[in-house]
Structure 1
Amino acid sequence: MTQSKHETERKYEAPPGGVAGLPDLTGVGPVASVTTAGPEELDAVYHDTEDLRLAGSSVTLRRRTGGPDAGWHLKLPLAGDTREEVRAPLADDLPEPLRELTLSRSRGAPLRPVVRIRSTRTVRQLRDAEGRVLAEVSLDEVRAEPAAGTGRAEWAELEVELAEGAPAGLLDVVEKRLRKKGIVRADSPSKLARALRDTGSVVERARSPEVVAGSPGSYVLAYVNEQVGRLVALDPAVRRDLPDAVHRMRVTCRRLRGCLRSYRSVLDRRVTDPLRAELRWLAGELGAARDQEVLSERIGAALAELPDELVLGPVAARLRAWEVSRGGGVRSRTREALATDRYLRLLDALDALLRRPPLRAKAAGKPARTMARAVLKEYGRLAGRMDRALAQPAGRSREKDLHEARKAAKKLRYAAEVARPALGKPVARLGKRAKAVQKLLGEHQDAVVAQDALRRMAVTAHGAGESAFTWGLLHGREGAGAEARRRELPEAWRAVSDPGLRAPLEH
């Protein structure tokens, strides 16, 4: 069993004189008093792959004894000064749930001890007027030694960690007081990073080839690198079924697929087409869970809006039974996909693409020409889809064409995202308007899918001798919503198809 929390902290060089050199922090912001605890003796063994893949992505995994939180700790980077710490009880061997959460980084390579770090810690607790702890200021005397080899390092460092619920701005006002005493930020982000550096345990990584700055190749690879990093970082959240994680990973797959498709003039499709196929597979495995989640939330919200007199029969119970019967299977499908060698091979292939990019001749050309052409090509595809869809009479064929137009709008939007750093505001405006069309078409598609589900539930309810009135009512409302989105679509499309919007990209 694991537990997790977010920790927000900053590290500093230790003051001369140790604890005696710390400034008095009473009166800093909401700090009304300071209490002292410790010293504590902490003993942590950090685990990583032989080539330090976890450390290379700013992740740490340790088994620590001593202190109030002895156990296994996996720290995952978040934004700014914040990390997520996932904890498991103390055991001799690495708990399987934590091993799984490292897979997107370790790729299944064995995890072994790499460094042992022992610390003597003295803590000062910053408290508010009611005595609540706002933050802890810890002074650590650190001794580090590699698991293999004879290197050894010693240093002292200061750490300021916010308590849960404390105002984030407290870190800034504490840092201001520390700077006045000459205490500056540490030059290493973590104890592990410094221990690896100071004991000579750092592994040299192969460098990616130089790409001409400001070229189409540099912009495309920067986007791919960002999305691959996001895909890897989302993996632990998806495995734990955290809110919105599946959706964000699925969108990341789509962004990568769209980039590799739109910029085939920059990256050789003989390499990227197989990657696109694997990304499509992964998005499909994730899509089952996401589609079920969206559909359940949509129908549940619509049902909650109905007055009691329009809810006839055991409607809520039937909806819950339907969610349970479908939800467990699709979530299991997602977890099974992430447990496959196929998924890990995909992550390896994406890394290989970045290390050895299959650049074509146009990758070194002028971005204004190459990237604008890619965006305009996606616009042309969308225009064809929209013309066909808007000319169709009502029915299944029109719904299918509108769904295809929605996918084309996404591709245009993602192509514009890639080009935005190179082409600026003109392509940003085009992407924004394409997003508006995509949103309308997405709302239409959600209503169509909901209608199909509601019809099936109405049939099932009727067969069980229950009233199908409420299901029919919800079905009718979804139909009206879909028709309203279709009426809004021509105006939204005119905003995208305005020739003046594309003119700056055509010259």
Structure 2
Amino acid sequence: MSSPKEIEIKLQLPSANFARLHAIPLIRRAGKSKQSEIQNSIYFDTKGLKLNRSGLTLRIRHAGGRYIQTIKSDQGSPFERGEWEAEVRDNRPDLKHAAAPVLEPLGIKKLRKRLRPVFETRVQHTTYPIRRKNCDIALTIDRGEIDAGVGALPLCEAELELKRGDKARLFEVARAFAHAASAELAVKSKSQRGYELLAGEDAGAARGEAIEIAPDMPAKDAFRAIAFACLKQIIANKPAIVASERDGIHQMRIGLRRLRAAISLFPDIAADPTERKIKAELKWLTGELGPAREFDVFLNRVVAPLERSHARLTGMQGLSHDLADRREATIARALAAVCSKRFRELTLDVARWLETGGWWEPPSKPARERWEEPIETVARAQLKRRRKKIRKRGRILEKLDPHARHKLRIEAKKMRYATEFYKTVFTGKKQEKRRAAFLSALKDMQDCFGDLNDIAVHEQLATGIAEASAARSSRPSRRVFAAGLLTGLEEARLKPALAAARQAFCAFEKLRPYWRQT
């Protein structure tokens, strides 16, 4: 039976670069000691996919004349998973050899009868031993496919597993290899991709997953769990953007905003020499994606309805075409950003920071005590502080200029994300009911503040595109007239939008904080 812990980094490899991998110095130096074999793995689950719903996988791998049964469980970090291995007689599960306590709550006897094959993988598996001072790493290249019967997916990935030594060195080697191979951090295992194939899921936009945080979890562990969930959402939306899925950019932006909000919730914990660079890079990526989303909202919510009702309006058609061209340019800009080396390095650097960053080493005893505080205590203080800031600014809503309203919107958004992060922290029927009402009020208020922000942004977009169009057009007055109409319509929405925002704020202010113990 193997040690029940696996520490590895998974990287997605571009298929086009596969033939050139042998030229990478890291692989070339270890080439003489490489081991290669064909591996066929069958994954098992019940008809209702009970193992998958419990965060578990069970597979039997056939290679070199042996059958190895492996059970894995998620441990909260994408790089650490519980793992139990045992050799079995054939390609059928033998739960007598599954000394994994994670199976016991599922009822081993009933589970044994209900297990069946759900999908399989067939790969050429090549391992290179990487030895560094006080560190041994197994670099594995897998190329093959996942077959779920209803379809197949190609596999081309690398795994760097820490056999001995420091996790920081593992990330150093992974970053060097990723740079040489144009590889990028992968957040989905073979089993996750297999289950998605089984369910017929495509490269759709990925929403943020629920985060399980126990009330007594230390604050630093809660921060890491939250941040990793946000990072996963960011990475998981790249395929959607590449596939021109309309909502992919929006969901990646949400992942970025959630991660930035998480960092701001834990300023004492997250603070270390790397934090400033991480925040700057996250802000860069947010800025590269932002214009595409702004133009998309503007065209669909403002321009398209007006174009339908005023199709013959002077200059409207030309202005609409100009706006569509600008939107395509912003989408190309977003695509270039997520396909860049900078994006690949950003995701790896964030992962390395969350797993091995300096913030894991408290600078003092008081800091260490704060970081070890139960998240329930820390979250209560965070939510109280955020609520106070929103109430203070919201009471003078009508006096705020667009920039100040935007800052209020950001505060409301951060509090909404915090409320979502801490869903499992504050339990009990009364708290859950109050939390649901609180979250609903936050969503309404955020929507209203977002509408106010859209009005300001849309006025700027209309004015800017009109000026640019006029400079290129032989009849600039027509486009200027159409842009003026768009601006006027948005200005007309300001007063009712402010009234709706005031109403939403008042509803929020009346609610009793759900995190209070009594």
TM over 0.5: yes
1:323 aligned onto 2:324: yes
| CA spacing shift, 1:361–1:476, aligned 2, 3 Å | same
Q: Deviations over 1:52-98 (max 9, x none)?
A: 7447xxx6x7xxxxxxxxxxxx8xxxxxxxxxxxxx8xx8x6499xx
SS in 2 for 1:466: helix
- Residue aligning to 1:441: 449
**2-structure distance, mates of 1:449, 1:114:** 58
The structural deviation recorded for 1:330 is 5.5
**2-structure distance, mates of 1:109, 1:483:** 63
- Residue aligning to 1:184: 115
Q: 1:450 aligns with which of 451, 458, 464?
A: 458
Q: Is the CA contact 2:413–2:446 (under 8 Å) kept in the aligned structure 1? A: yes
- Residue aligning to 1:480: 492
**2-structure distance, mates of 1:385, 1:110:** 57
Q: Is the CA contact 1:368–1:422 (under 8 Å) kept in the aligned structure 2? A: yes
| CA spacing shift, 1:427–1:219, aligned 2, 3 Å | farther
**2-structure distance, mates of 1:414, 1:267:** 17
| CA spacing shift, 1:491–1:52, aligned 2, 3 Å | closer
**2-structure distance, mates of 1:154, 1:324:** 63
**2-structure distance, mates of 1:312, 1:255:** 42
**2-structure distance, mates of 1:223, 1:208:** 20
Q: 2:219 aligns with which of 200, 216, 221?
A: 216
TM-score, scaled to structure 1: 0.58
| CA spacing shift, 1:380–1:117, aligned 2, 3 Å | same
Answer with 1 or 2: which has the greater Rg.
1
**1-structure distance, mates of 2:119, 2:286:** 37
The structural deviation recorded for 1:450 is 1.6
Q: Is the CA contact 2:38–2:124 (under 8 Å) kept in the aligned structure 1? A: no
Q: 1:283 aligns with which of 283, 286, 289?
A: 286
- Residue aligning to 1:372: 380
1:495 aligned onto 2:507: yes
Q: Is the CA contact 1:225–1:354 (under 8 Å) kept in the aligned structure 2? A: no
* Alignment size in residue pairs: 361
Q: Is the CA contact 2:260–2:282 (under 8 Å) kept in the aligned structure 1? A: yes
Q: Deviations over 1:459-495 (max 9, x none)?
A: 6569525375544433332222232111111221112
**1-structure distance, mates of 2:336, 2:27:** 21
Q: Unaligned stretches of 5+ in structure 2?
A: 1-6, 41-60, 66-87, 94-109, 128-137, 141-158, 169-213, 363-367
**2-structure distance, mates of 1:399, 1:492:** 18
Q: Deviations over 1:328-379 (max 9, x none)?
A: 2562355146413475145323333134562642232233321110111122
**What is the identity percentage for the equivalent residue pairs of Structure 1 and Structure 2?**
18
Letter in 1 for 2:116: R
SS in 2 for 1:227: helix
Q: Is the CA contact 1:278–1:346 (under 8 Å) kept in the aligned structure 2? A: no
1:352 aligned onto 2:353: yes
1:298 aligned onto 2:301: yes
Q: 2:245 aligns with which of 242, 247, 259?
A: 242
Pairs within 5 Å for 1:70-469: 94=18, 117=38, 184-186=115-117, 190-192=121-123, 203-204=161-162, 214-268=217-271, 271-308=274-311, 311-325=312-326, 327-328=328-329, 331-332=332-333, 334-336=335-337, 338-341=339-342, 344-355=345-356, 358=360, 360-392=368-400, 398-424=401-427, 425=432, 426-457=434-465, 460=469, 464-466=476-478, 469=481
The structural deviation recorded for 1:380 is 2.1
**2-structure distance, mates of 1:487, 1:442:** 13
Q: Unaligned stretches of 5+ in structure 1?
A: 1-50, 62-73, 75-87, 100-107, 120-140, 146-152, 159-178, 393-397
Q: Is the CA contact 2:260–2:279 (under 8 Å) kept in the aligned structure 1? A: yes
TM-score, scaled to structure 2: 0.57
- Residue aligning to 1:11: none
**2-structure distance, mates of 1:143, 1:367:** 45
Alpha-carbon RMSD across the aligned residues, in angstroms, is 4.8
